[in-house]
């Protein structure tokens, strides 16, 4: 009738409790970093949404090569240079439109002519460095690949400054082509090249930020699950206190992650890139998998730690359904 007693004495239980506090503080810090990075990202995305280049996000999807999915998976950690290459293609079109001498692009041609040498120089350097990235990737030289990709991003940053110099006056003072003029000629205009270029750079940036957030959320969830398994597998005299503390940490962490993933799913710029309705929740596979992994699974494990007998009966019942009684 004395209750559950630890096998290794009171000292081991107290030591585990102290270690648990530090572990949960580490989990809390990871959640803080997750939310802080996403808030900074969301603030920048809101500013980008009101930039005059906003139509470029929808036009970007038509630039994706045939045979690839027109939707952009911003959470994928697999390497992709599609957005990078689309941006370079827009710069080539800008240079070609600048030297074409068309009457409708006379003002644009004058601005391209003023920066032609600088634009061409950074374009060539970026293309050469991108070729080095692809060569290193094909030969599995991942250290060189990372170094070349960083250098290519630096060249692309310098190229973006020149592009912004060309388009700044158009974005500030010139209105986009009217629907009537676009109906007569569906060919892209020089203004379209700048819009798609900005969209390609935003996508390339998000394809580096979002997988990091996903990895941070995954590591935090795994740490929570391991702590819950450790607490529920040993007869600590302070089990109730640990479980209550776990309830608080899991509730806050799960709430923060659900808010982050739903907020990212509803973001206007991300929705325009993905082809969904801006400002509305899109219950796609990616969102459902994230909610199941980072919300439902920790809650189920926590309930199992708090009510092990009921969880055991539930598992036995499910095993009877799927495995049969024989």
- Give the CA distances from residue 274 to residues 33, 61, 263, in Å, rounded to whole numbers and listed in that order: 25, 8, 14
Per-residue pLDDT averaged across 68-92, rounded?
A: 76
The pLDDT assigned to 202 comes to 93
Q: Which residue, of 210, 243, 260, is where some domain finishes?
A: 210
**Residue 249 belongs to domain spanning:** 9-43+211-319
Q: Which residue, of 178, 210, 242, is where some domain finishes?
A: 210
Integer distance in angstroms from the first to the last C-alpha of the chain? 38
Judge whether 51 and 197 are in contact, CB under 8 Å.
Answer: no
Q: Say yes or no: 171 and 230 in one domain.
A: no
Q: Say yes or no: 238 and 151 in one domain.
A: no
Indicate the pTM of the whole model.
0.81
Spatial separation of the C-alpha atoms in residues 90 and 83, rounded to whole Å: 11
User: pLDDT band at 24, cuts 50/70/90?
Assistant: confident
Which region among 30-44, 63-77, 254-268 has the lowest average model confidence (pLDDT)? 63-77
Spatial separation of the C-alpha atoms in residues 86 and 12, rounded to whole Å: 59
Q: Which residue, of 153, 181, 210, is where some domain finishes?
A: 210
Q: Say yes or no: 87 and 145 in one domain.
A: yes
Percent of the chain scored above 70 by pLDDT?
A: 78
Residue 17 has pLDDT above 60, yes or no: yes
Within a domain: residue 138? yes
Within a domain: residue 325? no
- Give the CA distances from residue 318 to residues 15, 268, 292, 325, in Å, rounded to whole numbers and listed in that order: 37, 41, 19, 11
Per-residue pLDDT averaged across 172-182, rounded?
A: 50
In this predicted model, what pLDDT tens digit does every residue of 287-318 receive, in sequence order?
888 889 888 888 887 777 666 665 556 556 55
Q: Say yes or no: 174 and 60 in one domain.
A: yes
Within a domain: residue 2? no
In this predicted model, what pLDDT tens digit does every residue of 130-175 receive, in sequence order?
999 999 988 988 899 989 999 999 999 999 999 998 888 888 765 4
Spatial separation of the C-alpha atoms in residues 28 and 17, rounded to whole Å: 16
Residue 81 has pLDDT above 80, yes or no: yes
Within a domain: residue 36? yes
Q: Say yes or no: 95 and 205 in one domain.
A: yes
Q: Say yes or no: 68 and 154 in one domain.
A: yes
Q: Say yes or no: 189 and 219 in one domain.
A: no
Q: How many helices (H) and strands (E) does the chain have?
A: 13, 0
The pLDDT assigned to 131 comes to 92
Number of domains in the chain: 2
Spatial separation of the C-alpha atoms in residues 119 and 94, rounded to whole Å: 10
What is the radius of gyration, based on Cα positions, of the chain?
Answer: 27
Q: What is the DSSP string of 92-140?
A: HHHHHHHHH--GGGHHHHHHHHHTHHHHHHHHHHHHHHHHHHHHHHHTT
Q: What is the three-class DSSP state of 81?
A: coil
The pLDDT assigned to 1 comes to 45
Spatial separation of the C-alpha atoms in residues 290 and 294, rounded to whole Å: 6
Q: What is the DSSP string of 11-72?
A: HHHHHHHHHHHHHHHHHHHHHHHHHHHHHHHHHHHHHHHTSTTTTHHHHHHHHSPTTS-SS-
Per-residue pLDDT averaged across 276-293, rounded?
A: 86
* Average pLDDT across the chain, whole number: 80
The pLDDT assigned to 262 comes to 92
Q: What is the three-class DSSP state of 281?
A: coil
Q: Say yes or no: 127 and 248 in one domain.
A: no
């Amino acid at each position: 009738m004395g209750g559950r007693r630890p096998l290794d004495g009171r000292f081991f239980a107290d030591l585990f409790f102290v270690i648990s506090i530090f572990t949960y503080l580490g989990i809390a810090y990871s959640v803080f970093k997750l939310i802080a990075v996403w808030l900074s990202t969301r603030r920048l995305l809101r500013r980008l949404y009101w930039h005059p280049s906003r139509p470029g996000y929808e036009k970007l999807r038509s630039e994706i090569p045939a045979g690839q999915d027109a939707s952009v998976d911003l959470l994928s950690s697999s390497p992709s240079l599609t957005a990078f290459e689309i941006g370079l293609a827009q710069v080539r079109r800008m240079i070609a439109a600048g030297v074409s001498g068309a009457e409708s692009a006379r003002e644009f041609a004058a601005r391209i002519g003023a920066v032609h040498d600088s634009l061409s120089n950074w374009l060539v350097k970026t293309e050469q460095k991108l070729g080095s990235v692809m060569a290193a990737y094909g030969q599995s030289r991942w250290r060189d690949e990372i170094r070349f990709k960083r250098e290519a991003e630096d060249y692309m940053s310098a190229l973006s400054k020149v592009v912004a110099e060309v388009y700044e006056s158009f974005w500030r003072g010139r209105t986009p082509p009217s629907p009537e003029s676009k109906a007569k000629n569906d060919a892209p205009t020089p203004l379209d090249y700048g819009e798609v270029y900005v969209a390609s750079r935003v996508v390339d940036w998000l394809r580096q930020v979002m997988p990091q957030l996903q990895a941070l959320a995954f590591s935090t969830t795994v740490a929570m699950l391991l702590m819950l398994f450790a607490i529920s597998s040993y007869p600590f005299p302070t089990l109730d206190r640990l479980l209550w503390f776990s309830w608080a940490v899991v509730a806050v962490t799960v709430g923060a992650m659900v808010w982050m993933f739903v907020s990212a799913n509803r973001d206007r710029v991300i929705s325009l890139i993905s082809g969904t309705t801006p400002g509305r929740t899109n219950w796609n596979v990616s969102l459902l998998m994230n909610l199941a992994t980072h919300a439902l699974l920790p809650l189920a494990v926590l309930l199992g730690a708090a009510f092990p007998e009921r969880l055991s009966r539930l598992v036995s019942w499910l095993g009877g359904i799927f495995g049969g009684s024989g």
